Amino acid sequence: MSPTTTADPTPTDQTNVADRDKARRWREGGSEPLLRVRDLRVTFQRQGQEPFEAVQGVSFDVHPGQTVGLVGESGCGKSVTSLAIMGLLPQRGNKVTGTVDYEGTNLLDLSDQQMRDKRGKDIAMVFQDPLSSLNPVVPIGLQVTEVLERHRGMSRKAATPVARELLDRVGIPDPDRRLKDYPHQLSGGMRQRALIAIALACQPRLLIADEPTTALDVTIQAQILALLKELVEESGTALVMITHDLGVVAGLCDEVNVLYGGRIVERGDRHDLFAQPRHPYTHGLLASIPRLDAPRGQRLTPIPGSVSDNLPWTSACAFAPRCSQPIEVCTQKMPELEEHHQRALRCFNPVEATR
Amino acid sequence: MNPSPMDPRPSAKKDRIDSLAETSGRGGTATAVKDVHVGAAGKVKDTGGVSLIASAWARLRRNPVFLLGLAITVVFVLLALFAPLLAPNDPTKRMPELLEDLSRSTNPVPGPEAGFPLGSDDFGRDLLSRLIVGARQTLIVGVFATLFGLAGGIILGTLAGAFGGWVDSLVMRIVDVMLSVPSLLLAVSIAALAPRPSQWTVIIAIAVVQVPIFARLLRGSMLAQRASDHVLAARALGVKQSSIVFRHMLPNSLGPVIVQSTLVLATSIIDAAALSFLGLGNPDDRQPEWGQMLGASQQWIRDYPHLAFYPAACIIVVALGFTLMGESLREALDPKSRR
Amino acid sequence: MLRFIVRRLVQMVGVLIVLSLLLFLWLRSLPGGTVSAILGERATPASRAAMEAQFGLDQPVWVQYAKFVGRVLQGNFGPSTAVLPGRDALDIFLQRLPATIELSLFALAIAVALGIPLGYFAARRKETFLDNASVVGSLIGVAVPVFFLGFLLQRVFAIELGWLPVSGRQSTGLDATRITGFFVLDGILTREWDAAWDSFKHLILPAVTLATIPFAVVFRITRASVLEVLDEDYIRTAESKGLTARIIRGRHILRNAMLPVTTTIGLQVGALLAGAVLTETVFGFAGVGDALATAFRLRDYAVLQVLILAAAGIYVIVNLLVDIMYAVIDPRVRTR
């Protein structure tokens, strides 16, 4: 659990108001969305096995400079969504449909070569485990400069000072020495900083961070999140933050999408979502976080069961077997994602608004 | 002197053995993870009972490479079992029809004629019958060499893996030395010790070569087991050391051993042929064996290459069958390759 | 790094001590032993005893072992009894060694040149027809007895087609200058191009035959290793950076996948030596393997001692060199 979750996730009123203004601007067409994902579906198909739809029609927008969270348990399809956007799913054994519209081009229609030109330059990604995500036999410096050589046409010699600069900007001390170091010589936090430096090397307009802090120590997690936030705000990069950790969402995201079983079950501005979770799943997630201001002796309320209890979405609400307040219709047909008041909700029997 | 687990690289031979050994330590976990993943798909399907073997079988059933190997093996074993019934003639009898044509100086190896589709060997015996019956002897050599090698390996490997400490060090030093001699050279050296070569000296020579491989394999997987959670749990519950070894560690180490055995079946048949070729095989040809036939055929290789070709073809097909089966088993049992 | 080398050296000495003990015991338990080998059928109890005293076989076992070790350390293995009667056994080994090294290196070069690219492409096309076919193909290579393959190639390319020489290391009557004992190299050094070409032609068939052994291993290790690397997170990172396929292949996939392959290549020595025994016999290629086969057949124990000790010694030393090389090429070990 990250330190931010133990603190009160509700920010102060002033920032609250400012953020809401920002959110409204995005939604009311102040800008065209940078990334528009519509009805994204990913089906894994292995020979002799039943096909398995990991992402079942996910739609969301990311505006320039906006930070959007995709939240859910492992197996809910959030990582698959990000890999599908990046075109990084294995070439065989899966089918991706829908549209991933990036500045007017559908990324799913691009050829392998065109996608290679976009990746690392326009859209970059930061991964979960910084040790395994860095090539162990290539010095850090080269792993940074190779992106610059590829997308900015720089020579190795010209790229080196830029790489040094980048490492310095992400807070790696003594960057000259670190350029020659190999990943195993860096600490976990330093490695993640290096990965962030690599991702931001070509100043992409969109950054996807897939659980960037999960593999790190608690104290380092906060530093990395702060760094990401700072860099993103400085450069106006849009960020898609994929996480299972609501603490990360609370500290960073403008808008939050909660995924369950491959579909979005609830979407909203982070303040609204935290203050008034409507979907029982979101509610359950929030209730299962230990809070410092909770009265002594109050029990934690975990969500019972696991994802293996899921019902198929096609005929019911997948979450029904684990839900705290299911009604009859929940197991009979699928609830639709309905939008109202800048929120979206997929539930027959939402949690009552408390305020 | 004991190589620590942090050793960057043991030898490739050792490395290969060790990486195979590891598969036993991780197999169970991988299945569990996989099941959860299937569950996450929202499919209503009972995955609780899927064991490692069942899931491996599910993969193997669709693997053409494995099926080819299995088919060859089944045909070979059936041939070996029913050889005397299938052979048209007595493989040891010098057939009068063939002897009629045989002449030391002008026609030492009579060719095919009515009733003898492959012709004669250099003694007037029916080549086809000898090949068919040879399947049985070949299987015997392969199976016994593997079993003896396995038995020796189990004893050494269990000692080392179960006790650790100095027993482990001592056993593994001996094993390392045995591995340092090229395998054929070791087999030849052992075979040379016998005053009179026979089928059994060939079997033992081949078996000895396999002992260090099996020993290292078993030790490796037992060490992986020893550190695994279920053995720790058994130990925490106060289960006796001997029951832990025999009920928990040994059975769970068997997967890689079965894989290796399949591969050894193939190499023993080939090695038996090599020993015959080097003049250290079984000289008694009343019970024909393919390796022996191939080894003996070299004196005729210039003028009558078919004498070498038929047994060689049999050896190649059967060895290929076992190898294909073993390699696909290895891949199916390796959690790293399942995705 | 230094500690690592020292530890491996100590380990190596341990292995060699155990090996000398086993070799000693082995020589003692050979049927008849040295005495019968020399006296043959004519042995009488009296002549046996005299001979045993001459060789010190009447002394306690540990004294005999000590003397044995002493002789080995001095390189004194006694004269050959059958391979080249009267010649010093060590001399025979040293004179034969270049041929085997030349053959093995050439075979290894073929195996590497074919095995690595094929292994890589099979892995990239996992579970396709090409992959399955090349896996089965490499396993056929394993299943064919080496000496039979030798016969087959000899028959087709030397006897039937007449493209290549049937056997030997060099055509007779070609009075080539000897410098190193590596005939092809000698030809190049002395600029006797016809001699170099002739030796090279003699080398092709045995080398191709012998190459099947390391080829199968190099191919399979490369394939397995590339498959493993392809699954690694850093390959996904490299793809997410939009790098070109060429850079991803060279810098990210192969640079990692080659680590285990390098060790494997180094450690094919043992298999090559065993294969050389069979290959050299088939092609009458006068190397160590041919001498070894002859020594076994004719029970020339002096030559056997040298060859077995040398085989194991070479294996152990190469093992050490490979470990050191590995430490040098893998930054994780090098910079620890």
pLDDT digits over A286-307, tens only? 877 776 776 777 666 778 777 7
| Residue whose pair of structure tokens reads 């080097």 in the numeric block | B278
According to DSSP, residue B109 is labeled S
What is the chain A residue with the closest CA to C257?
A137
Nearest to A52 by CA among A331, A349, A310, A343: A310
Residue B338 confidence (pLDDT): 45
**DSSP characters for B63-99?**
-HHHHHHHHHHHHHHHHHHTHHHH-SS-TTS--HHHH
**DSSP characters for A296-332?**
TTPPP-PPPS-GGGPPPTTTS-TTGGG-SS--GGGGT
Burial class (CB in 10 A: 0-12, 13-18, 19+), B105: exposed
CA distances from B208 to B135, B188, B255, B278, B326 (A): 23, 11, 21, 18, 20
Distance of CA B253 to the CA centre of its chain: 17
- Tell me what percent of the residues of chain A surpass a pLDDT of 70: 88
A183 belongs to a structural domain: yes
Flag whether pLDDT at C151 surpasses 80: yes
Residue A334 backbone zone (phi > 0: left; psi -120 to 50: alpha; other: beta): beta
CB distance C255–A86 less than 8 Å? no
In the chain, the amino acid numbered A10 is T
Comparing B21 with C190, which gets the higher pLDDT? Answer: C190
- Edge-to-edge strand order for the sheet containing A35-44? A52-62, A35-44, A94-102, A105-106
Strand, helix or coil for residue B116: strand
Which of A110-124, B32-46, B291-305 comes out lowest in average pLDDT? B32-46
CA distances from B274 to A299, B242, B323 (A): 74, 41, 18
Comparing C181 with A135, which gets the higher pLDDT? Answer: A135
Identify all chain C residues contacting A198, using CB atoms and an 8 Å cutoff: 237, 241
| Band of pLDDT at residue B339, cut at 50, 70 and 90 | very low
CB distance A133–C332 less than 8 Å? no
Q: What is the mean pLDDT of residues C191-212?
A: 86
| Residue whose pair of structure tokens reads 């047994």 in the numeric block | B311
Residue A207 confidence (pLDDT): 92
Instruction: List b or e across B130-166, with b for residues whose CB sees 16 or more CB atoms inside 10 angstroms.
Output: bbbbbbbbbbebbbbbbebbbebbbebbbbbbbeeee
Q: What is the mean pLDDT of residues B196-208?
A: 88
Mutate to test the interface with C, among B20, B184, B198, B304 (most CBs of C within 10 A): B184
| Band of pLDDT at residue B160, cut at 50, 70 and 90 | confident
Q: What CATH number is given to the structural domain containing C196?
A: 1.10.3720.10
| Band of pLDDT at residue C305, cut at 50, 70 and 90 | confident
Q: What is the mean pLDDT of residues B122-143?
A: 84
C66 belongs to a structural domain: no
A163 belongs to a structural domain: yes
CB distance A137–C259 less than 8 Å? yes
List the domain range (segments joined by +) for residue A172.
Answer: 130-203
CA dist C173 and C170 (Å) reads 9
Burial class (CB in 10 A: 0-12, 13-18, 19+), A80: buried
- Tell me what percent of the residues of chain C surpass a pLDDT of 70: 91
Residue C42 confidence (pLDDT): 61
A258 belongs to a structural domain: no
User: Which member of A48, A308, A312 has the closest CB to residue B39?
Assistant: A308
List the domain range (segments joined by +) for residue C211.
Answer: 95-300
What is the chain C residue with the closest CA to B265?
C143
Identify all chain A residues contacting C236, using CB atoms and an 8 Å cutoff: 88, 127, 133
Give chain C's mean pLDDT: 83
Identify all chain C residues contacting A150, using CB atoms and an 8 Å cutoff: 241-244, 247
Q: How many domains does chain A have?
A: 1
Sequence-ordered list of residues with C-beta below 8 angstroms from that of C1, at least 6 positions apart, any chain: C327, C334, C336
- Tell me what percent of the residues of chain C surpass a pLDDT of 90: 12
Measured on CA atoms in the order A312, A318, A320, A322, is the torsion positive or negative?
A: positive
Mutate to test the interface with A, among B34, B35, B43 (most CBs of A within 10 A): B43
| Band of pLDDT at residue B10, cut at 50, 70 and 90 | very low
Flag whether pLDDT at C207 surpasses 90: yes
Residue A208 confidence (pLDDT): 92
> How many of the other CB atoms lie within 10 Å of CB of C53?
11
CB distance B39–A313 less than 8 Å? no
According to DSSP, residue A186 is labeled S
Assigned CATH for B62-85+117-337:
1.10.3720.10
Q: What is the mean pLDDT of residues B93-112?
A: 70
CB distance C315–B180 less than 8 Å? yes
Comparing B45 with C255, which gets the higher pLDDT? Answer: C255
Give chain A's mean pLDDT: 83
pLDDT digits over B25-56, tens only? 443 333 333 333 333 333 333 344 456 667 77
Identify all chain C residues contacting A121, using CB atoms and an 8 Å cutoff: 242
Instruction: List b or e across A201-215, with b for residues whose CB sees 16 or more CB atoms inside 10 angstroms.
Output: bbebbbbbbbbbbbb
A224 belongs to a structural domain: no
According to DSSP, residue A206 is labeled E
Flag whether pLDDT at C41 surpasses 80: no
Helix residue spans in chain A (DSSP H): 3-6, 13-27, 78-86, 112-118, 140-152, 156-169, 175-180, 188-200, 218-235, 246-252, 270-275, 280-287
Comparing B100 with A264, which gets the higher pLDDT? Answer: A264
- Tell me what percent of the residues of chain B surpass a pLDDT of 90: 8
Cβ atoms A267, A256 nearer than 8 A: yes
Q: What is the mean pLDDT of residues A171-178?
A: 89
What is the chain C residue with the closest CA to A146?
C243
Question: B251 is written with which tokens?
Answer: 């059975």
Question: B331 is written with which tokens?
Answer: 């891949």
Residue A206 confidence (pLDDT): 92
pTM across the whole model? 0.80
Q: What is the mean pLDDT of residues A217-227?
A: 85
Nearest to A184 by CA among A134, A229, A149, A112: A134
User: Which member of A47, A307, A313 has the closest CB to residue B39?
Assistant: A307
pLDDT digits over C111-145, tens only? 999 999 999 999 888 878 888 888 888 888 888 88
| Band of pLDDT at residue B144, cut at 50, 70 and 90 | very high
A113 belongs to a structural domain: no
Which of A183-192, A259-268, C291-300 comes out lowest in average pLDDT? C291-300
Identify all chain C residues contacting A129, using CB atoms and an 8 Å cutoff: 233
Which of B182-196, C48-62, C65-79, C238-252 comes out lowest in average pLDDT? C48-62
- Interface predicted TM-score of the whole assembly (ipTM), two decimals: 0.82
Question: B75 is written with which tokens?
Answer: 């045909």
Which of A215-229, B9-23, B58-72, C88-102 comes out lowest in average pLDDT? B9-23
CA dist C179 and C197 (Å) reads 16
B161 half-sphere exposure, CB direction, 13 A CA radius: 31
User: Which member of B176, B182, B278 has the closest CB to residue C271?
Assistant: B182
What is the chain A residue with the closest CA to C336?
A185
Q: How many domains does chain C have?
A: 1
Q: Give helix C2-29 / helix C301-329 axis angle, nearest 10°.
A: 160
